[in-house]
Structure 1
Amino acid sequence: MSGLSKTERAGCLTILRSLSKADLMSLNDTVTNKMIMVEDVTEAIEAILSFTKNAEELLRRKKVQRDLIFKYLAKEGVVMPPNSEKHQLVRRTLELWSRKAGESLQGQMDETRQRQATETPSDSPDLKAEGGFDPQVLGQQFCQWFFQLLNSQNPSLGQPPQDWGPQHFWPDVKLRLLSKAGSEQMDEFLGAELVGLRLQALTKEEHLILSPNLENHGLRTLVSPHGLVLVAVAGTIHRDLACLGIFEKIFGLIRSPLENNSWKIKFVNLKIRGQDALGGTEVAAPALSYNSSELQLLCR
């Protein structure tokens, strides 16, 4: 039920351990709507973590006071002005956890690539083998890596941009961008340089933050018989603390045998809908609107 990543759970656990027993019991009642009775601090913390929808929701709880977050960041080596408001501390904490998750994922991907580079062809993972390859796991890992990389280009986050560039795309990659914000507009871009620059502009120039929904209803992965992996994901679009709308993004991934068998992006279909096009629809955790048949057509 919890929507916390491993990194977020570890960070929230550290912060919760600094609360008093009374505050933890009270917070447990709030988070679980008094449906879960606990007897001690350990049970309270576990219930809070299990029933928390996302990290931001927990950090914004009244019992998680500003000073606790400030002290946590200080222990993590993140220096913030003493007069920082709570919402600024919350955002910086989420950025810290996102960066840590990205670094962990990048380390895993580098390790995997090194292992694949030393494997013989007969040892290479088979995309169609049920035991050795989980497309959904790949989809989650790819989305965590990609959106962390893309969001790091946003200067308003105040963090060093990560290594974005055409090297992550196939030379003939194609981007199809459909935006619905008042009027509908369709644009297409071809080539690694142009596609990379247009996607980068979303965060670097337009200062957007794309937050993917990696739950089952927001993420779907399909594999074609020819080795193409299709990753479809929905999410929300933010600028600072404002939610501007939702997006649906479909990636086509193919391995590059000349680059340690690493995954590279073959095409991207991006559909953006602004708040005015949603008609007041709840966008906290958007689901994919594409059905399986529509996605299967892209795998051909």
Structure 2
Amino acid sequence: MAVWKMSGLSDTERAECAKILKLMSKGDVLSLSDTVTNKLIVVEHVKEAVETILSFTKNAEEFLRRKKVYRELIFKYLAKEGVVMPPNSEKHQLVKRTLELWSSRKVVPAETDKTRQRPSTETASDSTKVEAGFDPLVLGQQFCQWFFQLLNSQNPSLGQQPQDWGPQHFWQDAKLRLLSRTGSEQMDEFLGAELVNLRLLALTRDERLVLSPNLDTQGLKVLTSPHGLVLVAVAGTIHRDEACLGVFEQIFGLIRSPLENNSWKIKFVNLKIRGQDTLGGTEVAAPSLSYNSTELQLLCS
């Protein structure tokens, strides 16, 4: 009987599924290979099994819903990718969040596709560099993935190697406006790259918070101005250890730096934090932005 490859996975999905497979035991990987191919292909080594699973998986959701892809594995994978979910999340919620994460990454074309090149952020200190001519929404998604992974890596409770956080990612006259509603309301402002950098760093390094952005259409908006300012607004949840403490809304103003290879740097940050006690029982699993486009446009002017 002929066996046909059924893979409908994109390059991004193949790479991310492979990361999850690396978290699995050898026995589970070999068993999953048998399941995916209905035992029509016999493999002996994990490397063969991984390639077989990726080649014969019809789509990403099918892979994630397999019994051998345990809830705990997806939870651990998301944590490694800088996406923090409530510890009591059910598997279907973790699958949904993972698919959203992969979908946001799929919009970046292959490097060889020069004719339709879109912005491509890189890792570490060059992560805010993008190509000229860009899709603002893609820039917003990539910026948020970079920023929150970078900031959350400073949290010692996550056990990650801290990444290259610092004032170099901000303009010298950067401004942070922090509004906190946790019982009482408090407004603080910080001026200058060093102070803005240190206050945001304190959220994760000292207060041990983890900020998890919602990058779907309800949680992310991106606007541009004719003067080169890109406004990225995102909502998300705030966690400490296993507790969800509340929600946040964060607005970034980004401007290119022509003296630094056209990297995008942060001009201003407006951060609004609301504790659980101020939400009145509102669902916080995937918070939405409360700002409308008109309010955001005013910040662009």
What TM-score bracket applies, with the shorter chain setting the length? 0.5 to 0.7
Give the 3-state SS of the residue equivalent to 2:200 in structure 1.
helix
Cα distance, 1:263–1:201 mapped onto 2, change above 3 Å: same
- Name the aligned partner's letter for residue 173 of structure 1: A
Question: After the TM superposition, which segments of 4 or more aligned residues of structure 1 sit over 2 Å from their partners?
Answer: 5-24, 41-48, 61-66, 89-99, 104-113
1:93 corresponds to 2:74: no
Q: Percent identity?
A: 67
CA distance in 1, matches of 2:291, 2:127: 33
Cα distance, 1:109–1:214 mapped onto 2, change above 3 Å: farther
Q: Identify which of 113, 122, 135 aligns with 1:106.
A: 122
Once the two structures are superposed, residues 78-111 of structure 1 have per-residue CA deviations (whole angstroms, 9 ceiling, x without a partner) of xxxxxxxx5xx76653343449x99x95249949
TM-score norm. by structure 2 comes to: 0.68
Displacement after TM superposition at 1:50 (Å): 6.1
Q: Is the 8 A contact 1:9 1:49 kept in 2?
A: no
Give the 3-state SS of the residue equivalent to 1:106 in structure 2.
coil
Q: How does 1:16-165 map to 2 (within 5 A)?
A: 18-20=30-32, 46=58, 49=61, 63-65=68-70, 92-98=76-82, 105-107=121-123, 110=126, 113=129, 125=132, 132-165=133-166
Displacement after TM superposition at 1:64 (Å): 3.7
Cα distance, 1:43–1:110 mapped onto 2, change above 3 Å: closer
CA distance in 2, matches of 1:221, 1:178: 21
Give the 3-state SS of the residue equivalent to 2:289 in structure 1.
coil
Give the 3-state SS of the residue equivalent to 2:273 in structure 1.
strand
Give the 3-state SS of the residue equivalent to 1:175 in structure 2.
strand
Residue 201 of structure 1 is matched in structure 2 by 202
TM-score norm. by structure 1 comes to: 0.68
1:11 corresponds to 2:22: no
Displacement after TM superposition at 1:17 (Å): 5.2
Once the two structures are superposed, residues 148-190 of structure 1 have per-residue CA deviations (whole angstroms, 9 ceiling, x without a partner) of 1100100111121111111110111110001111111111111
Once the two structures are superposed, residues 135-156 of structure 1 have per-residue CA deviations (whole angstroms, 9 ceiling, x without a partner) of 0000011111111110010011
CA distance in 1, matches of 2:281, 2:57: 35
Once the two structures are superposed, residues 247-296 of structure 1 have per-residue CA deviations (whole angstroms, 9 ceiling, x without a partner) of 10000001111111111000000011111111111111111110000000
- Name the aligned partner's letter for residue 96 of structure 1: K
Displacement after TM superposition at 1:11 (Å): 2.8
Give the 3-state SS of the residue equivalent to 2:140 in structure 1.
helix
CA distance in 1, matches of 2:19, 2:202: 31
Residue 128 of structure 1 is matched in structure 2 by none
Q: Is the 8 A contact 2:179 2:271 kept in 1?
A: yes
CA distance in 2, matches of 1:17, 1:108: 32
Q: Is the 8 A contact 1:11 1:97 kept in 2?
A: no
For structure 2, list consecutive stretches of 5 or more residues without a partner in the other structure.
Answer: 1-11, 37-52, 84-101, 106-119
